[in-house]
Structure 1
Amino acid sequence: MVGTATLLTACAAGPNSSPNMIFERKGLTEPTLSSFQYCHGYGCLKKENLSLNEVEKTGLISAFGAVASAQEERAAMANAVAYMERINAAKAGTENDVGGTFAGYGQSGQLDCEDEAANTTTTLIFLQDLGLLKHHRLRSQVTRGFFIGGWPHTSAAVVDNVSGENFAIDSWFESSGVKPHVVPYDAWSSGWDPARDGPIVVE
């Protein structure tokens, strides 16, 4: 669950806002390939100091693959996030993270949406730093809910360079190492849930 001030900040942040916002809120260092903090334990309560070696960096590039369109790039970002979850889970002990917050509440190695948003944003920054993102730019995380439309929920997000459309890249709904959902912001912010509404195929 996220504090009121955090929610209001995330709500007000626009498509040109910095992806580093979540690191500033959580007291995390800005991630680099050689040094980053991996969050778990709810709200980044636990932070693992990690780095990517050359083999892992090559694996990340391979997981992203070659893309020729914005749609393909969104799918590639999802693949890269899943890859990073798998290799980092082995280091942080979060292999048994269960999708959603309440299903695995209290279990060791569980992540909430704030953990997931921070870790997914870290991966997106790596893709940007590696020069792989051609069709999207990064932005701050997005938040929905505020108790009126459901529990507060946060996700990493990107913006399509041509259309200006915002997309949530939400890894919270799935268990560790499973590809995140890439969902148009308008649908996501209205309360979209894959268990109820089914996956969205983004054109």
Structure 2
Amino acid sequence: MPERRGVWLAVLLLGLALPWAAWADATLEVCYNYGCMAQAEVTFSEAQLQDLRGWLLMADGPAAERGILAQVLGQMYRWAGAQSPISVDRPGDFLDDGVYGAMDCIDHAETTTRFLHLLEDRGWLHFHRVAPIRRRTRWVVAQHFSAVVQQRQAEGEGPEFVMDTWFGEHGDPAVVLPLEDWLDGEGPNVS
């Protein structure tokens, strides 16, 4: 009988410890100064992460999750900008050219993908999975990179969507577009 109490006590303690481990602060690096040439460590607190979780729990389908995810990414950038030089970032590459902390599309694609993986690793993406970064090339010298999510579906591969934070002001919601439209050049004009 004493052995059973020990097992139950271990199960109880493990059950109490797991929620705290899942809700711990999260630290990751954000890229800046073009081409991920510089990185800064930022930390999202447990309270901040639980706010994001609450937003994502409101999604009742894939389209709603993408819309909420766009807002969540904007908030994550605002919090990261309070801890790093990326708050100076402006849309595109020319409005902040030469400014310390500016981000090009490579910086945005890498950072946004890291943010998305953080959310996915915590089990908070219910209708999407994080896909590899994608590149579009128009002409030889014009290329653009973006983070991508893929919609989950019961059979086969679901449609992919870019989550592009490069187009907006620092902390704006991500621009969400079907991957095929983005590959065809869709998105706000920021030149």
Structure 2 residue 45 is the aligned partner of structure 1 residue 61: no
Aligned residue number for residue 7 of structure 2: none
Q: Choose 1 or 2 for highest CA Rg.
A: 2
Partner of 2:171: 177
For structure 1, the 5+ residue unaligned runs are: 1-31, 197-203
**Which of 182, 187, 192 lines up with 2:186 in the alignment?**
192
Residue 95 of structure 1 corresponds to: 87
Q: Secondary structure at the match of 1:82?
A: helix
Alignment size in residue pairs? 164
Q: CA deviation at 1:173?
A: 0.6
* More helix as a share of residues: 2
The partner residue of 1:155 within 146, 153, 174 is: 146
Mapped partners of 1:92, 1:107: distance in 2: 13
Gapped regions of structure 2 (runs ≥ 5): 1-23
Computed over aligned residues only, the root mean square deviation of the Cα atoms, in angstroms, reads 1.9
Q: Partner of 1:191: helix, strand, or coil?
A: coil
Secondary structure in 2 matching 1:47? strand
Taking a change above 3 Å as real, the CA distance of residues 181 and 128 of structure 1, as seen in their structure-2 partners, is same
Aligned partner of 1:82: which letter?
A: G
- The residue identity in structure 2 corresponding to 1:144 is R
| Pairing of 1:28-107 with structure 2 (within 5 A) | 34-107=26-99
Question: Larger RCO: Structure 1 or Structure 2 (Cα < 8 Å, ≥ 6 residues apart)?
Answer: 1
Which structure shows the higher strand fraction?
A: 2
